[in-house]
Chain A
Amino acid sequence: MGDLREADLEEIVRLRPNLILISKTGNRKAVAEALAKVGLNVKTMERPNTVAGYADFIRELGLLTGREARARELSEKIRKEAARLQARTAADGRVRTFVQLDAGPVLYSAGAGTLVGDLLDICGGENIVGDRGRAYPALEVEEVIAAAPEVIVVCVMGRRGEAAVRDWARFPWVPAVAAGRIHLLDPDLICRLSPSLLQGMEQISKWLHPEESVP
């Protein structure tokens, strides 16, 4: 209802939902208070920024919606899958990786303390962005090429994503470019809170550590 910044309160009240989830970061406190005042069931939740945190998030959601069993199942699956992928690549060493979240001209990426950063860690990647005290830092192209990533994951859909991949060909000596290890990934798979996170994780793990290289 409404958009990211402005909730359409009248419409929400009219629909009288059983449960309203409010993200702690995205919404103003006043919205939560106004909705609670008219007797709606409002729950404020922190957006998880680790894969384990996402598993907990699912469980809590299950409690709130009365689907505890299914939620626990999914939550366990996520934890197990993360542990499996982590174990799978543990012996293979870290792969220097750049995750590109925007088609440019400024290159946005995800650093430490983000879901994408944690996911990369689980998949055996070394994030070239590191920790800059910002969740989603902007980088200059020269920084990326000087960091010599072995894999580049471009999370942009459509022709702009394809163009962004092509653009890297300007720097043929960057290891990821030389080895043809630049991949397009649907951002919905890793940037949204949904079970398709599993799919995204699996995919990135395979790109970073292809079957043949895993001992």
Chain B
Amino acid sequence: MKKDLRLERKAGLSRRLFWFLLLLATLGLAGAALVLGSVSIPLGRIPEILLRSGAEQGGNSPEAVILLQLRLPRIIAAFLVGGALSVAGTLFQGLFRNPLVEPYTLGVSGGATVLIGLGILIFGPDVLLLAPLLGFLGAVGAVSLAVILTGRSGRLGVERLLLIGVMISFVCSAALVGLVSVAGLDRFRGLLYWTMGSLAGADPAAVAILLPVVGVSFALALGRAWALNALALGEENAAGLGYDPEREKRLIILLGSLLAGVSVAVAGVIGFVGLLVPHLLRRLVGGDHRVLLPAALVGGGFFLLACDTLARTAFSAQGIQFPVGAVTGLLGGVIFIALLSARRAR
């Protein structure tokens, strides 16, 4: 029975070739990101530095510290945050059967920013030290609010939920402008940077938080792949196949907001990854969530790592560090528009 749920692949790309290329590109990119940076460390010396620092336990040479404590954690964090956002986007898009849904259209970013903004207004800029926690609570809070408000009417209506999510985003951004007007731009400098998203603060501790949360959430999400496939056939069909649509929806929304929340906590607000990557991948590997979800994890990780490496190194000699959110927005937006135009032209 379940075999019938395998959704047909649209693209002709062989699955094995797809995975080979994606993994190869990701590894190549990670290697490049390790080599690139304001301080030049030749590729040939990296194995030696890594081996020696292993022997010295912790590695005290500046180069080893730059590689192991600054660049490597940032690379891993970029990969995990990108993967988490993209998996969250895949979950929401699959659930709502609407390619425009991503964590941010459900109010995740708005909720996170407003909670931190309120904290700054009440307790002063020192509260930015707690930004990861507040951001996480705000993100999960906003999605829960959307779900609760929608659920009042009984069953979770997809359009209703989406509308409420968009409204929550609007209310939050208006509230943020209000907060900034009341307290003055000066106090919110740190927050404004945070709302543009950055992986500059990604240290080993951030990786230690991301790895288990993203790992477990992803594993649980993968366990819902069949349910997502069933829901794609419509709720009545899913119920006919033995899934409880309401329960599945709540579970999937919870996992999606958990993934988005932990990303917001580590990297601030990064848009477009959760929108663009699942959309692109669905064209490449088709709509079967058993394939799409792992592809979203690696593909999203690849995309954000590429954007972050660009943001970090492109103009660093001139003293410019782009917030990665600006790069994803710019690149993602342009790619998305190009895709849509190409489809129309066809």
Q: Are A137 and B185 in contact (CB under 8 A)?
A: no
Within 8 Å of chain A (Cβ to Cβ): is B319?
A: yes
A175 and B239 CA atoms in complex are apart in Å by 66
Does chain B have a CB within 8 A of A4? yes
Query: Which residues of chain A come closer than 8 Å to B319, judged between CB atoms?
Result: 111, 129, 132-134, 136-139
* A145 touches B (CB below 8 Å): yes
**Interface flags, A80-112, vs B, CB<8A=1, else 0:** 000000000000000000000011111000010
CA distance A165 to B253 in the complex (A): 40
Cβ contacts under 8 Å, A160 to chain B: 125-126, 128-129, 190
Pick from B66, B189, B198, B317: contact of A105, CB below 8 A: B198
Residue A159 at the chain B interface, CB threshold 8 Å: yes
> Which residue of chain B lies nearest to A170 when distances are taken between CB atoms in the complex?
B69
- In the complex, A148→B66 CA distance in Å? 13
Residues of A within 8 A of B (CB): 3-5, 102-106, 111, 129, 132-134, 136-143, 145-146, 148, 158-160, 163, 170-171, 173
Question: Does any Cβ of A come within 8 Å of B5's Cβ?
Answer: no
- Bound state CA distance, A137 and B312, in angstroms? 13
Q: A134-B319, A143-B38 are in contact. Are A163 and B129 (CB under 8 A)?
A: yes
Chain B interface: which size bin? 20 to 34
Residue contact B37 to A134, C-beta cutoff 8 Å:
no
Name which residue of chain A comes closest to B65, CB basis. Answer: A171
24 A–B contacts from the bound complex (CB under 8 Å): A105-B198, A105-B201, A106-B198, A106-B200, A106-B321, A132-B319, A134-B320, A139-B316, A139-B319, A139-B321, A140-B37, A140-B200, A140-B312, A140-B316, A140-B321, A141-B70, A142-B71, A143-B38, A143-B39, A143-B316, A146-B39, A160-B126, A160-B129, A170-B69
Give A160 to B124 CA distance when docked, in angstroms. Answer: 11
Q: A68 to B180, alpha carbons, bound, how many Å?
A: 39
A-B pairs with CB below 8 Å: how many? 81
Instruction: Please give the distance in Å from B322's CB to the nearest CB on chain A.
Output: 9
Q: What residues of chain B have their CB less than 8 Å away from a CB belonging to chain A?
A: 37-39, 60, 62, 65-66, 69-71, 124-126, 128-129, 184-185, 189-190, 193, 198, 200-201, 203, 312, 316-321
> Across the interface, which residues of A come within 8 angstroms of B312, CB to CB?
140
CB distance from A176 to the nearest CB of B (A): 13
In the assembled complex, how far is the CB of residue A128 from the closest CB belonging to chain B, in whole angstroms? Answer: 12
4 smallest CB-CB distances across A and B, nearest first, come from: A137-B319, A105-B201, A105-B200, A138-B321
Q: Is the CB of A103 within 8 A of B318?
A: no
CB pair B201 A158 closer than 8 Å: no
Which residue of B is nearest A104, CB measured? B201
Assembled-state Cα–Cα distance A148/B129 (Å): 27
- B193 lies within 8 A of A146 (CB): no
| Chain B residue at minimum C-beta to C-beta distance from A171 | B65
Nearest neighbor of B180 in chain A, beta-carbon distance = A3
Closest chain A residue to B313 by CB distance?
A: A140
Tell me the complex Cα distance, A200–B226, Å.
65
- Which residues of the other chain, B, contact A105 by a CB distance below 8 angstroms? 198, 200-201
Q: From A4, A103, A140, A173, name the one whose CB has the most chain B CB atoms within 10 angstroms.
A: A140
In addition to A133-B318, A145-B62, A170-B69, 14 A-B residue pairs with Cβ atoms within 8 Å of each other are A102-B189, A102-B190, A106-B198, A106-B200, A133-B319, A134-B318, A137-B320, A138-B320, A139-B316, A139-B319, A139-B321, A140-B321, A171-B62, A173-B62
